[in-house]
Structures are given as C-alpha cells and as structure tokens.
C-alpha cells in the first residue's frame, strides 16, 4: 500500500511556553477516509497546516506520497492537497465566486478551454451556479462554505482535507456534501485520500477510520465501531458518540456491542418480534 | 425585552442598481424572557434578519421595535448606541468580531464601552470567560492565535460581559466540540432563567428542541411558520422536505424504525423521549 501521508516523530509548538505535538506519529494510507476528531484546541487544524507546509515542524518528518516535506517540495506537495479551511473567509481570493473557483485551476495550468466546464461542474455539485458572479464576501455563511468546497472539488486533488467544512451547512447542504464525498470515494478508490476534521460524530461514522486526538496526543485510532465502543473515553475527551450510539446506551437491555444506526435498527426490530 | 418586526422589507444595496431584496414583509414577535429559535435553509435570510435587532442593518421599509427603541430606515447612527447596549450579538463568523491585542482586553471592551470602570470590566470579563470555558492560560494570548472553537467562546464571552438584556446567537454551536455544544445549550437556558430574551439561529433541530420556546421558520426571506417546537415538529414530513428542514435526530430515527416495522405511538423529539418510547414498546412484547 502506498502511504498518502506519513507523520514521524513530529514536534511542534507555537511558542516557547507549551508544546502542542510531542513525538506525534500518524500514517494515512492512500485511499483511506480518515475522520479526525478532538475537543476544541486539541490540535486538529494545526496538524492540517503542518501537512500543508503552512507552518513548519520544530522536529520530525512529514512525507506526502513518499516525498519528504521541505522548502523545496512544499509547492509540489500543496498542489496535491485541496484544503477547505475552518473559516471560508480566509480562503477567498477571487472577486467573484467563479473567479474564486478558477483561481486554483489556473495554478494547475489546466488548458483554459476546460476551465469553464470544470467551474460549472463544481458549482453545480454544491448548488451555487446561480451565484457565479457574486462577490464571495456577500454570501451567507452556508453559501460561503459551499463555494469553498466547490473550489477544492474543481481541483480534483489526490488528498482532500476538510476542516469543519460542513459546520454551517443546512441539512440539505450537509447531505449533498456527504453524498458527494461518498461518490468521489467510490469513483476514485485508492486515488483519493480524504481527511475530514469534524465535531459531528454522525459524520465521522462515514469514514473508514476515526482518529481521536487530545492536546496533541493520539488517544484512539481505529474503525468507527472500535472508536465509538469507547463511550467513557470519548466523553472524557469532550466528545460524544453518534446519535445511535448514545441511544443504544439508553436501551434496556442495551446491546452487548457497539452498533451503528443500521445495525441498531435491525437489532431493535428483531427484539420486537 | 420584547422584539417586534413590523412589515419589514430589506434590500442589500437599497436604492442602488445592485439592490438585492432579501426580506419580504416580515412581521414577527419575539416575546420578552423567552428563547426564540430561527431556522431555515441556507440563504433564507436568518443572519440578515437578526442583524436588524442591534441596528447593524436597518429596515428598508417597516420597523423593528426592541423594548422601547424603534428602528427604521431613518434611525441615525448615533442613536444606535442606546440599542447596542440592550442587544449583544455573537456573529456567525466570530473571528470577524475579535480585534483586541489580548483575549482579556477583547472581552473587556464592551463593558468599558458602556461605562464600567476598569476593575468592574475586568471582573465581568473574567466571569464571562470562565462561564464559556476559556482556560485562564489563554487570556493573555492574541484572540487571533486561538483555535476555531476557542475563538467562538471568546466572542461569546465578549457579548455576555456587558450583560445585555437581549442575546442574539447566530449559529453559535458551529465549531464547538460536543461537550461545548451541550454547555452552550445550558448557557442559553441559564440566560433565560435570568430573564433575558434570547434569539438563537441554528441548523441543528436537536438544539432547537432543547432550548426554544418558539421556532420561527424562514424561507426565501419570509417567515413561513412560527410555533412551539412540539407543534412545529409534528407537521407533515413533506412540509419539512419543502422547507429543506430536518426533524430532530430522534424523529428521524423513529421514521427509520417505522420503516423497519416498529411504529412508536408519537413522534419523539429528544433522545430521552425516543429511548423511553422504545423501552416501553420492547417491554410490552
Ligand atoms: N496561530 C497560533 N498561535 C499560537 N497558538 C495557536 C495558534 N493557533 C492555534 N493555537 C493554539 O494551539 C492549540 C491547537 O489549536 P488548533 O487550532 O490546532 O485546535 P483545533 O483542534 O483545530 O480546535 P477547534 O476544534 O477549536 O478548531 C490551541 O490551544 C490554540 O490556542
Ligand atoms: N452584502 C450582501 N449583498 C448582497 N446579498 C447578500 C449580502 N449578504 C447576504 N446576501 C444574500 O442574502 C441572502 C440571505 O443571506 P443570510 O446571510 O441572511 O442567510 P442565512 O439564512 O443566514 O443563511 P446561512 O444559513 O447560510 O447562514 C443570501 O442569498 C445572501 O447571498
Ligand atoms: Mg480547528
Ligand atoms: Mg447566516
């Protein structure tokens, strides 16, 4: 298996007073969908910025598809990663929504004939084609998040990192994004690696793997079922289980093992008979 | 303090060729001492609506009355100070409201601005920061060197510190971790118990059910429903689809259970209601 991202013995601190990451290790296989969760201030966004080379590690090594991240390689590596930042305002560069989506494509030196259709396609997926000529800063919160997503989708990068990119979406927008991610995964398989940073545990269940961090330390790492079996540990870390998991804990009798929503419904409907 | 919108129309860029009409004939009342939730799909006008409550936007037509203050197109900027003392807003993107050199100074700004002395402002700021779970280790940091969730908490503290009678929260749970979300709901209920009027925008129907006395539904710049959560969330499923709204998760789960052959007597709105209903149902067999 190829490794999309490999983080080895990472050390990082913003200032002298406190070390955030101390000897941190994480490997993400190509084609994996990883949900990264943790309480506020646990280091999720920092980790994403380190991988993008927006900030530099104090020690340790980050490799992306086998290439070590250095001053020389950072440009090439960033070209393979599409990231949606936690605050979409920090990411808009274009004067209009269409310019904004075009910006990344221009950097990719895509033939200019292909650009309009790529832009339209991406805006279409997120339902924002009618807003093409609007200035991004005049959009509503959810509209901004949709455009930020379109800009990344248009690039068709090998690695997509979404930092709470659905936090302000309405239910419809959230469903669209989750379905789009699932469709992309199905289409690109091993060629697309996804990292979603989220506080929504129901969203995290869609991933292949859930990684829990707390103050720069890896607390849990495994399949959604394995991680969400640890209810007390999750609660102790300021987190929760998906809705079905919290519900199962209230059942009398409670199921013996962790069940996801579909399994819990099956289990309950069998109890009834 | 009661809030009343009377026949409010609002356009961005009103009077220019680029005018965008956003709010249409909005008449709605948010009773004093209650929690009013505002829901509706992306772009339906929720943030635009609530920015009228502290005069950040003024109605193009119609009027907004907050307690004894009347806001119209003609209200002068210098009169707004009086309104802003009554109404605290936490914006959808909290970064945009942070500005000072340190977290503590940022939160002290509003009380100082409204006439508190330094000692009192600092005491109010410290109480507010503790209330929203901002660790003391962060108080001397720049508010721009915080995580997303920490910024939102600081913005919230900045609004609470001046003890406004009306608290407006635009999507306050976004970016908070699950524990922070639960604490936020507690905070809203506490504000209500202190007699404050709270306006709460959310896409999370579970949060709405947990705190709201009434729910206002916006659609394309109009108010299309106003009900208690119990009444609203018992409407037909088709209506929710049309409004692009969700049921609370307990209601969604119950629908899936029905499809799998277990029908509950009533639509549950909370996890506790759902668990009780299932336990009763299973126990009967
Ligand atoms: N630019 C910065 N300068 C100094 N400290 C920072 C900076 N950005 C973040 N921090 C600190 O580093 C820690 C980790 O922040 P980070 O943004 O990575 O958290 P996070 O897990 O993304 O949290 P959230 O869920 O709130 O977004 C926090 O304690 C934060 O205060
Ligand atoms: N400055 C502006 N100029 C022109 N149109 C604007 C401006 N600000 C907002 N709009 C438009 O007004 C409509 C309502 O926006 P508003 O921010 O009130 O929506 P919202 O209900 O809060 O949505 P969300 O749930 O996405 O935050 C949107 O279509 C938006 O694009
Ligand atoms: Mg973050
Ligand atoms: Mg809004």
Tell me, what's the ipTM? 0.93
CB pair distance less than 8 Å for A168 and B171: yes
CB atoms < 10 A from the CB of A70, how many? Answer: 12
Any chain B CB within 8 A of the CB of A140? yes
Q: Is A164 labeled as catalytic in the residue annotation?
A: yes
pTM: 0.95
pLDDT at residue B46 tops 70: yes
The ranges of chain A with pLDDT < 70 are 1, 272-273
In short, whether B19's Cβ falls inside 6 Å of ligand 2 is no
Of B4, B1, B64, which is closest to residue B226 (Cα–Cα)? B4
Residues in chain B closer than 8 A to A14 (CB atoms): 145
Identify the band that residue B283 occupies on the pLDDT scale cut at 50, 70 and 90: confident
Mutate to test the pocket of ligand 1, among B144, B146, B154, B180 (most ligand atoms within 8 A of CB): B146
In the reported structure, the alpha carbon of residue A230 is separated from the centroid of ligand 1 by a whole-number distance in angstroms of 25
Q: Provide the token pair at B57.
A: 């936007």
User: DSSP character for A18?
Assistant: B
The whole-number average pLDDT for the span B126-153 is: 95
Which chain B residue shows the shortest CA-CA distance from A199?
A: B177
Domains of chain A, residue spans:
1-80+157-239, 95-156, 242-273
pLDDT at residue number A1: 60
pLDDT at residue number B77: 93
* d(C-alpha A79, C-alpha A101), whole Å: 15
Residues A135, A164, A246, A261: which is the catalytic one? A164
* CB-based contacts of B2, cutoff 8 Å, min separation 6: B29, B30, B31, B32, B65, B66, B67, B197
Those of residues 208-237 in B touching chain A at CB distance below 8 A are none
Identify the band that residue B54 occupies on the pLDDT scale cut at 50, 70 and 90: very high
In the reported structure, the alpha carbon of residue A84 is separated from the centroid of ligand 2 by a whole-number distance in angstroms of 20
pLDDT at residue number A273: 58
In the reported structure, the alpha carbon of residue A208 is separated from the centroid of ligand 1 by a whole-number distance in angstroms of 26
The whole-number average pLDDT for the span B217-240 is: 96
Task: Reduce the DSSP state of residue A131 to 3 states and report it.
Answer: helix
The whole-number average pLDDT for the span B147-172 is: 96
User: DSSP character for A19?
Assistant: -
Question: Quick check: B51 and B59 in contact, CB under 8 A?
Answer: no
Question: Over chain B, what is the mean pLDDT?
Answer: 95
Alpha carbons within 13 A on the beta-carbon side of A3? 13
Identify the band that residue B243 occupies on the pLDDT scale cut at 50, 70 and 90: very high
CB atoms < 10 A from the CB of B19, how many? Answer: 12
Fold observed for domain A1-80+157-239 = Rossmann fold (3.40.50)
The structural domains of chain B, ordered by start, are 1-92+195-242 (3.40.50.300), 247-285 (no CATH)
**A&B contacts, CB < 8 Å:** 139
Out of A40, A138, A272, closest to residue B150 by CB: A40
Q: What is the 3-state secondary structure (H, E, C) of chain B?
A: CCEEEEEEEEEECCCCCCCEEEEEEEEEEECCCCEEEEECCCCCCHHHHHCCCCCCCCCCEEEEEECCEEECCCCCHHHHHHHHHHEEEECCCHHHHCCCCCHHHHHHHHHHHCCCCHHHHHHHHHHHHHHCCCCHHHCCCCCCCCCHHHHHHHHHHHHHCCCCCEEEEECCCCCCCHHHHHHHHHHHHHHHHCCCEEEEECCCHHHHHHHCCEEEEEECCEEEEEECHHHHCCCCHHHHHHCCCCCCHHHHHHHHHHHCCCCCCCCCCCHHHHHHHHHHHHHHC
CA-nearest residue, atom 29 of ligand 2: B43
pLDDT at residue number A32: 97
Question: Quick check: A11 and B118 in contact, CB under 8 A?
Answer: no
Over residues A47-64, the pLDDT tens digits come to: 999 999 999 999 999 999
Pairing of strands A59-64, A67-68: antiparallel
* Residues of B known to be catalytic: 171
Residues with CB under 6 A from ligand 1: A 14, 20, 38, 40-46, 86; B 145-150
Any chain B CB within 8 A of the CB of A16? no
Q: What is the 3-state secondary structure (H, E, C) of A205-261?
A: CCCCEEEEEECCEEEEEECHHHHHCCHHHHHHCCCCCCHHHHHHHCCCCCCCCCCCH
Identify the band that residue B284 occupies on the pLDDT scale cut at 50, 70 and 90: low
pLDDT at residue number B264: 93
pLDDT at residue B31 tops 80: yes
CB pair distance less than 8 Å for B249 and A243: yes
* d(C-alpha A136, C-alpha A114), whole Å: 23
Of B169, B96, B93, B99, which is closest to residue B132 (Cα–Cα)? B169
Å between B214 CA and nearest CA of chain A: 20
pLDDT at residue B285 tops 70: no
pLDDT above 90 covers a percentage of chain B that reads 93
Residues in chain B closer than 8 A to A171 (CB atoms): 203, 244-246
Any chain A CB within 8 A of the CB of B245? yes
């Amino acid at each position: 298996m190829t490794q999309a991202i490999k983080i080895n013995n990472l050390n990082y601190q913003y200032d002298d007073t406190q070390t955030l990451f101390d000897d941190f290790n994480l490997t993400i296989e190509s084609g994996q969908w990883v949900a990264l969760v943790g309480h506020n201030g646990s280091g999720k966004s920092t980790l994403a910025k380190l991988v993008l080379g927006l900030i530099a590690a104090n020690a340790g090594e980050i490799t992306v598809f086998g290439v070590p991240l250095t001053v020389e390689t950072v440009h090439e590596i960033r070209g393979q990663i599409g990231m949606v930042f936690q605050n979409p305002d920090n990411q808009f560069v274009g004067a209009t929504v269409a310019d904004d989506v075009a910006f990344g494509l221009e950097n990719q030196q895509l033939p200019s004939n292909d650009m309009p259709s790529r832009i339209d396609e991406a805006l279409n997926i997120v339902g924002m084609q009618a807003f093409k000529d609007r200035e991004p800063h005049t959009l509503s919160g959810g509209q901004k998040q949709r455009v930020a997503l379109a800009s990344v989708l248009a690039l068709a990068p090998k690695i997509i990192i979404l930092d709470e990119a659905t936090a302000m979406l309405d239910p419809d927008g959230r469903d669209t994004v989750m379905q789009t991610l699932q469709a992309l995964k199905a289409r690109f398989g091993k060629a697309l690696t996804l990292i979603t940073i989220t506080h929504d545990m129901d969203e995290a269940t869609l991933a292949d793997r859930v990684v829990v961090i707390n103050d720069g330390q890896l607390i849990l790492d495994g399949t959604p079922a394995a991680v969400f079996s640890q209810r007390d540990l999750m609660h102790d870390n300021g987190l929760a289980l998906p809705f079905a998991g919290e519900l199962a804990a209230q059942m009398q009798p409670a199921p013996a093992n962790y069940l996801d929503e579909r399994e819990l419904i099956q289990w309950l409907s069998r109890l009834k008979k | 303090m009661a809030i009343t919108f009377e026949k409010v129309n609002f356009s961005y860029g009103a009077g220019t060729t680029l005018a965008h009409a956003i709010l249409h004939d909005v008449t709605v009342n948010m009773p004093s001492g209650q929690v009013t939730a505002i829901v509706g799909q992306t772009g339906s006008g929720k943030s635009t609506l609530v920015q009228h409550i502290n005069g950040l936007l003024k109605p193009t037509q119609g009027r907004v009355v907050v307690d004894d203050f009347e806001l119209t197109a003609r209200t002068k900027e210098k009169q707004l100070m009086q309104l802003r003392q009554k109404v605290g807003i936490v914006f959808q993107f909290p970064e945009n409201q942070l500005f000072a050199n340190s977290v503590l100074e940022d939160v002290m700004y509003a009380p100082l601005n409204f006439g508190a002395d330094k000692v009192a402002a600092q005491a109010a700021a410290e109480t507010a920061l503790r209330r929203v779970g901002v660790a003391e280790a962060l108080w001397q940091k720049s508010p721009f060197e915080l995580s997303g969730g920490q910024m939102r908490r600081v913005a919230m503290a900045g609004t609470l510190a001046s003890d406004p009678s009306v608290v407006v929260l635009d999507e306050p749970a976004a970016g908070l971790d699950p524990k922070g979300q639960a604490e936020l709901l507690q905070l809203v209920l506490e504000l209500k118990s202190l007699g404050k009027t709270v306006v709460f925008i959310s896409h999370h129907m579970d949060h709405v059910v947990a705190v709201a006395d009434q729910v206002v539904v916006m659609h394309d710049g109009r108010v299309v429903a106003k009900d208690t959560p119990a009444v609203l969330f018992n409407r037909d499923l088709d209506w929710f689809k049309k409004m692009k709204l969700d049921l609370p998760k307990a209601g969604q789960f119950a629908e899936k259970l029905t499809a799998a052959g277990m029908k509950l007597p009533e639509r549950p709105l909370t996890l506790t209601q759902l668990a009780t209903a299932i336990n009763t149902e299973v126990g009967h067999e």
